[in-house]
Every structure is written in structure tokens, then in C-alpha cells.
Amino acid sequence: MSCQKCSEKFILKNDKGVIFIISEVEELLKKSTSFLQKLSIDYSNKNGLLVINVTNVKAFFSENINKFKEYFNELERENIKIFTADDENSFNYLTVLKAKTLQKYINLFDDQDFFDVVNNESLTVHFQPIIDIHTDKIYGYETLARGVNEDGSLMYPDILFEKSKRNDYNFKLDRLCRESALKTAATKKVHQKVFINFIPTSIYDPEFCLNSTVKWAKQLEFDPSQIVFEVVETELVKDQVHLKKILEYYRSKGFKIALDDVGEGYSSLNMIIELRPDIIKIDRNIISGIDQNELKQSVYKALFNLARENGITVLAEGIETINELKMIKNIGVDLAQGYYFAKPASEPIRKI
């Protein structure tokens, strides 16, 4: 069993159907009515529910999407909801819950490349090595997802997740990234630790939302202790009780936990205390130029000492120069990652 939100697929059928337009704002229903009349689109008004029968749902939106954009402003688009179905009898209270804003339908066309990537699960994974400073060997790899466009070009994480967020697709994309990381690491025969990012705000209930991730880990015969789940976007997590529940679920399955971007936000120290991760990744903004900045050295030293006193492994990320590496080694560090060692690559680097 998995979360329906994680399996959602937003597409328009290339066939006849019914389009329902609803809004809690009476003025917007009136404006929607005027819009349909202006374009000579046949519709019926059933107690404030605008119903349009079309011969081809996808073609209807394709022909009129720019007109929707011109006629309604952004605020209005967010307060008009649309649902498509096979017939008029399909409308019920569940329909209202599944209806999406007009803006989401516009995004479906504006972000078509994103929807193609996610709906077709066209993801690839790159690996960046993480070095054990004590042995100078590869300790593990951070897995980094990229979307693969139809022309073979890559959609990088900043664009991928920007479009995902505005289309409320983080639930599905986050799941796909976790599963792609596991499958690709198995295919590439990675035997070191595998670091996988996850966004806590994209998980409702860990037992349901993370079910498929755990299933794939078992199916691919991963030792759970070799998988490290990185908590990202911690500054957006308001419900720490929920986050602790997610991490407890991961730990109950034998996985390790890392806290990413430590030192970036004001909540970092509190997060370390509350979550007690196995690993903290000290933010690259602290590491960058640390050899020339005494304040950054003091912050890093405080974080390192806090981690060391509580049995937490310290990973310095974003190392780009030999002098940065020398400085953090002088202060203290367990693991290191950054362009100084290697950039992310589709084929895992086996030796530094």
C-alpha cells in the first residue's frame, strides 16, 4: 500500500469528456460565465456549477489556455477550480476534493517538460563521493536526481523541484527520487553507503508514504545500515513532532539519518538536539572560504564539538580548495564532500 498523493498523475485525456468549473467566490463564477459566453462555449449552470461537454478534453484546454491566462489574473486563477470527468454523473463530493485550480491547468501546459519527466518517471541519478578523512577512502555517495527531457538534455534539481513545488508534485517526485536512487545504486553495484535526500514536508504518514521505498530497499537486498536518508529543507519544517515520527520510522527499519545544511538556519542547533541524527552535514556556506574567515572557523568548531560530544559524525560539504580542507582537518572532521574531490557524475567514481 502506498500514499495516493505519491502516485498521482495529472494528465488530460485526448477524448470526449465533461469539464466542471467551480469556485467559492460568486464573482468569479460570474466572471467565468462571462468568459465562456465571450468565447461562445456551450455550457450549463447547475446551481453554481458550470458544466461543459467537450469532444476532446485536451484539445479544449490546448485551444483556450492562453485565453484563460489573459482573462483571469493570478489570484483569480488560484480561486477557480476545475475538474474533468467522463460524464456529468461523475461529479460528487470527492470531485471537489480532487479539483485543481485553474492555475494548475495552466501550469500543465507551461511546465509540460516537467510533467513529461515525472509522469514518465524519466529520472537519472548522479553520484558524488563522500570521503572518509581517517582512511582517505570513499565512505559513500550522495545520490542526486536529474530529470531527463525528451531530447536527452537534463533538468537539474533546482528547476525540477521549483516546478514540482508550484504544481504540488513534491509527494510524487520525492518518492521517485528515493526509489531511483536505490535502483540506480544497485545497478551500478555501489557497496558503500548511499545518501538519499528526502523532503519531510512531502510525507504525510511514513508508514504509507515510505512503504514503497522500504520495499525497494529490501527487494534490492540493501543492508539498511548502508542507506542514509538526508533531511533537507529543515527550515521549512514547522512540525518537529511529525519529523521525529518520520525519522523514527526510518530508524525502526535500520536506516541511518543525516541532517543536511546544518548551520544555514537559526533552527539548526535545535534540530540537532531534538532529532539526534547519526550524521550532520555542515553547510557549504560555512565551509566556503573558512580558511580565511575566523568567524566561520568558530561556528564550525562549535558545531564539531557539539557533534563529537554527542557521538554524531561530522560531514563537511562543499569543499572546493585544499586550504578549506586543511582548515577543517585542523579543527576536526570525519567525512568530506565537494568539488575538490569530485563533481557529481552518472558513473560513480570508484577511487579518489
Domain ranges within the chain, ordered by starting residue: 4-110, 116-337
Which of 102-116, 253-267, 294-308 comes out lowest in average pLDDT? Answer: 253-267
The pLDDT score that the predictor gives to residue 265 is 57
Q: Which residues contact 220 (CB under 8 A, 6 or more apart)?
A: 182, 183, 186
Supply 149's cell numbers.
Answer: 527531457
Domains 4-110 and 116-337 share a fold: no
Band of residue 206 on the pLDDT scale cut at 50, 70, 90? confident
Query: Three-state SS for 5?
Result: helix
Whether the predicted model's global pTM rises above the 0.85 cut: yes
Residue 165 has pLDDT above 60, yes or no: yes
* pLDDT 10s digits, 46-98: 988 999 999 999 999 999 999 999 999 999 999 999 999 988 887 777 777 88
Give the architecture (CATH level 2) of 4-110: 2-Layer Sandwich (3.30)
Residue 242 has pLDDT above 90, yes or no: no
The pLDDT score that the predictor gives to residue 236 is 60
Q: Identify which of 85, 5, 15 has the alpha carbon closest to the alpha carbon of residue 51.
A: 85
The pLDDT score that the predictor gives to residue 1 is 46
Say which CATH topology domain 116-337 has: TIM Barrel (3.20.20)
Q: Span 233-252, mean pLDDT?
A: 79
Residue 168 has pLDDT above 60, yes or no: yes
